[in-house]
Amino acid sequence: MARFLAGRLVALIFILLALTLAVFVIDAAVPTDPVAANLGAGASQTLIRAARHALGYDQPIYIQYYRFLGRILHGDLGTSLRTHNSVAADLAQFAPATVELALASMILISGLALLLGLWSASGATGATAIRFVLVSLASAPTFFFAIVLVLVFYSWLGLLPASGRTTAGTATGFVMTHDLWRGDLVGWLDGLRHILLPAVVVALGPAVAIGRVLRGSLVDAMAQDHIKTARSKGISDSAVLLRHALRNALTPVLAMVGLQLGLVLTGVIVVETVFAWPGLGLYTSEALVNSDFPAVIGVTLVLGAVYVVINAAVDVLQVVADPRLRDRP
């Protein structure tokens, strides 16, 4: 196991370096001059050249990349052209909203995927209907599904809010986590009402994809000889499904989880824009509109690193679920 972990750690480091190289190349290729943009339209060419020299932009490209890595390691992601704050400070302000939305979405993904996978594999009454409904909803484009939910639950029924994190207005930090920690049930329920619609939109597609893989994997696992032996001993189908078949079915499910995380991270931009959710997605959307390339690159680097690290963790979980994978390349 130690050899496997060491190999995955080395691979993780190389992938992260490749990510920083890709981001650096994109940063160097954008048409906007970050030095001129920071100094303003009235800056003279002499001042711009002096600033470029001070920042090292007149150095060879490999030296610029070395300095770029050094800035990243020190948490320096540049300065936003739109807010004029450091990108790291902006991300620290907007990231909690995205983290809470992602956590709520993961809870829904887990519940819906288990519902779809276990119910379908068991052949219980109504399994075909629930699978048809979930797959149909997940087939709709994200923005269209979000708009439909807003029309139904906000405009027509008036049950849930259509935007924001709280009724009081703009909120920063971990709002729901803070309310739960303080025991503020009213504030937590208000946050829950606001987060429910965007979390459902983010979660539905990945949940259906994971649930379908879980169903197929469970059906294959239930046909194995040791499952038939367990049934012959008089163990109920539900107990066989949960105690014996589920763990054997986890390997392809975990692989699908890693793939779907990318869709969750990219879908957040659309969802946060539709619901005016003040997180990294909305921040990135506004940065794109205003050609704020340092902010876009900073978000890309952070979300890319998160995606790579989570997929590495999924690889480890696959080995825990199925130790036979330990010896595979």
Q: With a threshold of 0.85, does the pTM exceed it?
A: no
End-to-end CA distance of the chain: 13
Percent of the chain scoring above 90 in pLDDT: 7
Domains of the chain, by residue range, sit at: 2-73, 87-327
Query: Quick one: angle between helices 142-150 and 250-274, nearest 10?
Result: 60
The confidence score (pLDDT) of residue 193 equals 92
Tens-place pLDDT, residues 107-143: 998 888 888 887 777 666 666 777 777 777 777 777 7
Q: How many helices (H) and strands (E) does the chain have?
A: 15, 0
Tens-place pLDDT, residues 160-174: 998 888 887 666 778
| Mean pLDDT of the region 198-220 | 84
The confidence score (pLDDT) of residue 199 equals 92
- Select the more confidently predicted residue: 280 or 312: 280
Strand partners, 166: 169
- Select the more confidently predicted residue: 216 or 277: 277
The confidence score (pLDDT) of residue 196 equals 93
Q: Look at residue 327 and tell me whether its pLDDT is greater than 60.
A: no
| Mean pLDDT of the region 75-79 | 84
Q: Look at residue 148 and tell me whether its pLDDT is greater than 80.
A: yes
The confidence score (pLDDT) of residue 37 equals 65
Q: Look at residue 68 and tell me whether its pLDDT is greater than 90.
A: no
Going by the DSSP 8-state scheme, the letter that residue 157 receives in this structure is: S
In angstroms, the Cα distances linking 60 to 32, 53, 65, 141 are 19, 12, 9, 45
Instruction: Output phi, psi for 126, to 5 deg.
Output: 90, -5
| Mean pLDDT of the region 21-34 | 76
CA atoms of 265 and 239, how far apart (whole Å)? 35
CA atoms of 254 and 59, how far apart (whole Å)? 45
The confidence score (pLDDT) of residue 40 equals 65
Tens-place pLDDT, residues 192-204: 999 999 999 988 8
Give the residue among 151, 138, 121 at the shortest CA–CA distance from 248.
Answer: 121
- Select the more confidently predicted residue: 222 or 216: 216
pLDDT interval class at 90 (50, 70, 90): very high
The confidence score (pLDDT) of residue 195 equals 92
**Count of beta carbons in the 10 Å neighbourhood of residue 295:** 28
| Mean pLDDT of the region 297-303 | 88
The confidence score (pLDDT) of residue 175 equals 86
CA atoms of 163 and 145, how far apart (whole Å)? 15
CA atoms of 191 and 185, how far apart (whole Å)? 10
The confidence score (pLDDT) of residue 323 equals 62
Strand partners, 79: 86
CATH architecture of 87-327: Orthogonal Bundle (1.10)
- Decide if 118 contacts 214 (C-beta within 8 A): yes
- Select the more confidently predicted residue: 122 or 17: 17
- Decide if 100 contacts 195 (C-beta within 8 A): yes
Q: Look at residue 89 and tell me whether its pLDDT is greater than 60.
A: yes
